[in-house]
Amino acid sequence: MMLSFYPGPSKVYPQVATYLQDAYESGILSVNHRSTEAMEMVKETYQLLHEKLEIPSDYSIAFVSSATECWEIIAQSLTQKQSLHAYNGAFGQKWAEYAEKLGIEVLHQPFDLNEECELDQDAEVICLTQNETSNGTQIRNSTLQHIRKQNTGLIALDATSSMAGVSFDWTLGDVWCASVQKCFGLPAGLGVMIYSPRALKRAEELNERNHYNSLLFIHENAAKFQTHYTPNVLNIYLLKRILEHIPMLSEVAKHLEERARMMTQFLTQETSWKVLAENALIQSDTVLAISGDLEMIKQIKANAKSHGITLGNGYGKWKDTTFRIANFPALTDNEFSILKHFIIHN
């Protein structure tokens, strides 16, 4: 079995093998999604998300198909005319371009790879990629705090590569979205959307009900512990079981932050590799992007594969000059020791 450091879909928790069998034997996979059993499962999973991820009690949670669907929901249900998109990488830029396709007037604010995110204007909705998977950077709580103080718009954050791995001050954002195939350590196919009372009030003011995934329709169902469409019951069940198993997020985040620091230190001090984002203040705790020339990158990926290790490809404009390493909770310290041994001997 390959040891995968791919930054999503990435390694699933080993307990998932047992949980899959448990799901089948429990009968939950065959129940109606409007049934008492299904609603109780959704309710318990919401409660566990609030508890383990330390989400404020007045923030709502809904299950959707993916974080990408959340981009659509934000544009349709929370944006009347204009959104501001600040980004330094491929996924933030994709989000901006997709909002434009939906007819939103988009204010683009690209910023440099090694710069902290600073906004030079306001908008109805400010869209930020909390963890930019393409280049291994993140927007930290301290920066979000400054943005929150300086701006009046709703703040929406794509936290696909960091939710369940990084401690957020949830109150600094109005919408947080992620998919479960990264820090949650689960198979792809489920999205988690977390939204504030302020976001819900905005949705009620706009009263947008023209789409099946309109936020008000989603919220009406979520309030009853239902989903607006037939859900991925298996992944919700697996999420519930994983949340029962994992420690509190503050503990998980502390471990990942320390492991990222040690891995960065190892790469920069004991090897000839360089971390793409040189500014330590913006380096991601959950995705490391390592830079080199074209031939070096090709060789290390090929060598890793022959040793049973999968490294992440580069992405966007860094596709050919970086490889990426996931630092997700399902990966163990021993697996990182194996990776370090491989790198230092190649």
pLDDT digits 0-9 by tens, 69-123: 999 999 999 999 999 999 999 999 999 999 999 999 999 999 999 999 999 899 9
Closest CA to 7 of 140, 168, 179, 143: 179
How confident is the model over 322-346, as a mean pLDDT? 97
| Residue limits of CATH 3.40.640.10 in the chain | 16-245
Q: Summarize pLDDT for 248-260 with one digit per residue, the tens.
A: 999 999 999 999 9
The region, left, alpha or beta by phi > 0 then psi within -120 to 50, assigned to residue 148 is: alpha
How confident is the model over 28-45, as a mean pLDDT? 95
CATH of the domain spanning 16-245, picked from 3.50.50.100, 3.40.710.10, 3.30.1360.70, 3.40.640.10 = 3.40.640.10
Decide: 345 and 270 in contact? Cβ < 8 Å: no
Give me the torsion for CA of 235, 240, 241, 244, rounded to 10°: 160
pLDDT at position 334 over 80 = yes
State the pLDDT confidence band at 8, using cuts at 50, 70 and 90: confident
pLDDT value of position 2: 85
How far is 113 from 278, CA to CA, in rounded Å? 9
pLDDT at position 346 over 90 = no
pLDDT value of position 67: 95
* Tokens describing residue 154: 């709703």
pLDDT value of position 164: 98
pLDDT at position 1 over 90 = no
CATH number of 3-10+248-344: 3.90.1150.10
| Residue limits of CATH 3.90.1150.10 in the chain | 3-10+248-344
